[in-house]
Structure 1
Amino acid sequence: MSVGERIAAARTESGLTQAQLAAAVGMARSALAKIETGLRGVSAVELVAIARELRRRVEWFVDPGPPSIVSYRASRSGLATQAIDEALDRIARDVEFVVGEVPELVNGQPDQQPTPASMPAAEDLAATARSLLKLGADEPVLELSRLVAVIGLLPFALPLGDGADAGTVLLRAGGVCVINGDLRVGRRRLALAHELGHYLIADPYTTDWRVAATEADALEARLDRFARALLLPARDLHDRWAEWSASEDETLRDAAVRAGSHYQVDMATLARRLDELGIVDSQQANRIRGVGTKKADIVEKNLVVPREMEPIALPRPYEQAVLRLYRNETVTVDRALGLLLGTFDEDALPDRPAVPDAEIWTVTS
């Protein structure tokens, strides 16, 4: 896409006519039309004004971005993007910039795994993922966002309102995942597990609108199964459920509350997993879906309250890399704060090394 074509695409996505955008930036409509069709160039001042009006960063118009994004945009034939697509685009660019300066942020990604062609294959992929994440076969997956970053998938949680649960972009090295932070914590973790599946089979660009909500798409259904198998390992779930439900003092609801806390999953995911493993029947699964954890449960059962990926959440290795660039004066204050997505203010940034008096004198003399 040329700069003019990208201006036209962004304008269309914003719902503006040429006349409306031209008026907003103090330009004749005919001039904007020529820019969009490539008959005239756009000055830096004009591009800054257009970018501000369309709520895009200037680099979006001049830098095509990662190859996977370029290919995805081309396949959509100019259709409007959604909030998660725009977030993926921005964050992928930021991460590629940081990786360019700090290559060790991403040490590559695992070998591409076969796309699961069946539900048993999805379970096998989950076992492979556990090995890559250095988890035991029956170990609960705690701090999933930290674990996936170690194998090159950098997860960001942003408040995105209604819409997609998550999306993933493969980069030249590793990948970026955006999770809709407005989801509840169990669903955020399920969405990240699902996106890990996309990452392992090397899908270049994905946005998932209803994780674990439909069987319409065969691959998505299998990756849902992969995500459940990863978060709720079959043998451990079977053994623990038998223990929790065997107690005379515990009801089906009590067992569900304990399981949800132990594995840090939502009740819909727990019920689906118990049902597909034959641990409960469909009637019991429906009852479990309706269970809600109360504050009394947390206190009386001494449960863990997970807060993973509360928005805005950035992967720790990425934060460390950005702070390193700031400390080394590779990026300005404003650039560092932008890369950190507003999670820092200037006072929270590290102190930079003091400039020796001799250097100050050399510069000013």
Structure 2
Amino acid sequence: MSQTVLAREVGLDRTMLVKIETGARRVDALELARLSTTLGVPMEQFLEDRPLVLSRRAQLAEEAQTDAAQDAYRLEAKLLQWREDVCQLVETGLLHPARPMLYKSPVKNQEAARAAARWLRSKIGNPLGPIDTVMAVCEQAGQLVLIADLPGEGASLVDGDLAVAVVSRMSDPGRRRATAAHELGHLVLGDEYSTDLGVATSREDREKVIDAFASELLLPGEVLVQRFPGEDTDHRTWLIGVAARYRTSWSMAVRQAESAGLLDVPTARRLRAANPTRAEFMEALGWTPQMDLESVTVPPGYAHAVMRAWSNDLITSERAVELMHGQITMDDLPARDDSGLAP
């Protein structure tokens, strides 16, 4: 849907829509209702005082087309719903999110971001090994991640000491892991709009810095240096094995090897154009299933809190299923009478 089409649907001139998007024009109740209906997001999203959104990949005011903006709005609506779900469990006293791990040193470039990723790995006790589940690492670092069946990539926010993120399931597993690590980077490195990084650089450059953090978190450069087989070997076969074991996308693996000085520019360009097949990745793993961010939609600590709340009759079975966001169904819970419980 283009801005022109959206403007027509809400009964506005396109220039008026642009002013609304940039905050230069107020919107009346009827226009608000039409925007809510056309974009398919709750009206409350436009009315609530919302916490700071640290990362939303698609910025409405920066786009000529609004399809990506509509996806961003839906992701943000899901993000706000996720925050409310987490808050409900916190209020029961059964969920105690970890305090966010925040990197204190200034981060103004990609190398500093990689140093921050190495710091975080040391904090969680995994300096160089593969990360089995990014969701568990995010939870340990103080960010609760929801995997949602929505188009787009990811979004995250912080509300006091509570940090939450949403990652779209509608991409390949390597991309989902990279997005989750990227959203964690926004938290660990701090608010992009108030740090030296945010003030001094463009949004595109900030995202590259966060991407460097995510890449180093998922595949440390030191691992590549230690395992580099030498100049006279098949770089592609070697890198497939490392990318498969660390479960990164092919582009991330090539980028990390290039950043570590192991690949020259022509070799890196050639490898980027030679994407491995799924069979090549699975062969490198010995055909062991890799399911991170596939069947699990909510963090393990959160899921445990939901089930304790249900067992303690604090929530109904229907609400428990809602809070689990597709990870369980009503058939997974023992039948019981919830007539005396609040919804």
Q: Which category of TM-score, normalised to the shorter sequence, fits these structures?
A: 0.7 to 0.9
Q: Which residue of 1 aligns with 2:18?
A: none
Alignment counterpart, residue 161 of structure 2, candidates 173, 179, 188: 173
Equivalent residue of 1:157, what SS?
A: strand
Q: Which residue of 2 aligns with 1:315?
A: 299
Could you give the per-residue CA deviations for residues 101-159 of structure 1, whole angstroms, max 9, x where no partner exists? 236431322245345112221121112111222212x2222212112212221111122
Q: Which residue of 2 aligns with 1:187?
A: 175
Deviates more, 1:299-308 or 1:172-181: 299-308
Q: Does the C-alpha gap of structure 1 residues 55 and 134 become closer, same or farther in structure 2, counting only changes over 3 Å?
A: same
CA distance in 2, matches of 1:124, 1:186: 22
Matched, 1:337 2:321: yes
Alignment counterpart, residue 145 of structure 1, candidates 123, 135, 156: 135
- Aligned 8 A contact 1:322 1:336 in 2: yes
Q: Which residue of 2 aligns with 1:357?
A: none
Q: Does the C-alpha gap of structure 1 residues 124 and 53 become closer, same or farther in structure 2, counting only changes over 3 Å?
A: closer
Q: Which residue of 1 aligns with 2:264?
A: 281
Equivalent residue of 1:278, what SS?
A: coil
Q: Which residue of 2 aligns with 1:227?
A: 214
- Aligned 8 A contact 1:181 1:311 in 2: no
Give 2:227's aligned amino acid: R
CA distance in 2, matches of 1:304, 1:318: 27
Alignment counterpart, residue 238 of structure 1, candidates 193, 200, 225: 225
Q: Does the C-alpha gap of structure 1 residues 323 and 144 become closer, same or farther in structure 2, counting only changes over 3 Å?
A: same
- Aligned 8 A contact 1:261 1:304 in 2: no
Shift of 1:176: 0.8
> What TM-score does the superposition give when structure 1 sets the normalisation length?
0.69
Q: Does the C-alpha gap of structure 1 residues 257 and 322 become closer, same or farther in structure 2, counting only changes over 3 Å?
A: same
Matched, 1:100 2:87: no
Give 1:218's aligned amino acid: D
Alignment counterpart, residue 121 of structure 1, candidates 105, 112, 124: 112
Matched, 1:262 2:245: yes
Determine which structure has more spread, i.e. the larger CA radius of gyration.
1
Query: How many residue pairs get matched?
Result: 300
- Aligned 8 A contact 1:261 1:303 in 2: no
Q: Does the C-alpha gap of structure 1 residues 95 and 255 become closer, same or farther in structure 2, counting only changes over 3 Å?
A: same
CA distance in 2, matches of 1:218, 1:296: 33
Could you give the per-residue CA deviations for residues 293-337 of structure 1, whole angstroms, max 9, x where no partner exists? 342663476254422112661111111111111121211222222
Q: What percentage of residue pairs aligned between the two structures are identical?
A: 22
Equivalent residue of 2:228, what SS?
A: helix
Q: Does the C-alpha gap of structure 1 residues 334 and 294 become closer, same or farther in structure 2, counting only changes over 3 Å?
A: closer
1:1-16 superposed matches below 5 A: 15=9
CA distance in 2, matches of 1:135, 1:222: 22
- Aligned CA RMSD, in angstroms, stands at 3.9
Equivalent residue of 2:155, what SS?
A: strand
Could you give the per-residue CA deviations for residues 188-243 of structure 1, whole angstroms, max 9, x where no partner exists? 111111111111133289xxxxxxxxx96222111111111122212221121227
Q: Which residue of 2 aligns with 1:159?
A: 149
> What TM-score does the superposition give when structure 2 sets the normalisation length?
0.73
Give 1:100's aligned amino acid: E
CA distance in 1, matches of 2:78, 2:291: 22
- Aligned 8 A contact 2:192 2:206 in 1: no
Q: Which residue of 2 aligns with 1:200?
A: 188
- Aligned 8 A contact 1:154 1:177 in 2: yes
Q: Does the C-alpha gap of structure 1 residues 315 and 281 become closer, same or farther in structure 2, counting only changes over 3 Å?
A: same
